Structure 1
Amino acid sequence: MQDFFLLPFELDSMGQRLAQERDAAGLSQDAMAMQTGVSRYTQIKYEKPNDDKNHTFPSLEYVNKAHALGLDMYYVLTGKRIPPHK
């Protein structure tokens, strides 16, 4: 039997954290969508609550592009902030 490992994802309010990080970066939904290569509709679906029937989770490509734009994607995915390095 294969061993599994758990990733520390906290998906319950991921869409809300994504919107929070996008706002903090000064990006509109349109700008975020354009810079990450998704449609505005897809960006909106990423930011919906998980219990919304239209919610969807972003791809790893999107996560990497959002991180490159300066969004704290570790926080978006886990709900935890990494303390800054000194």
Structure 2
Amino acid sequence: MKINNLGSMGVNPYKRSLEKSAQAAQKPQTKEDKVEISAKAIDLQQSNEITKARQKKVQALKNQVENGTYTIDPKAIAKGLLDFYKK
């Protein structure tokens, strides 16, 4: 016969874990994605000068390719590759 039954009265670890999981299931878990864009990036996006210059350059290259006047400078390409891999 046990007189001092310490620590085991009313303790059920399985019941506690079930209660915790039930509480976690009741709370709605809303996770949101968040993107922050710096002020400088916003300025770059909104600057029309860069996009206009880029569009003009692309259009000029398209015209050269369509006309067959676009030429490739192999020396400039080789120099660029060497500079890239030497760094």
With normalisation by structure 2, the TM-score equals 0.19
Q: Flag the structure with more relative contact order, 1 or 2, with Cα contacts below 8 A and sequence separation at least 6.
A: 1
Q: Which has the higher helix share?
A: 2
- TM-score, normalised with respect to structure 1: 0.19
Which is higher, the Rg of structure 1 or of structure 2? 2
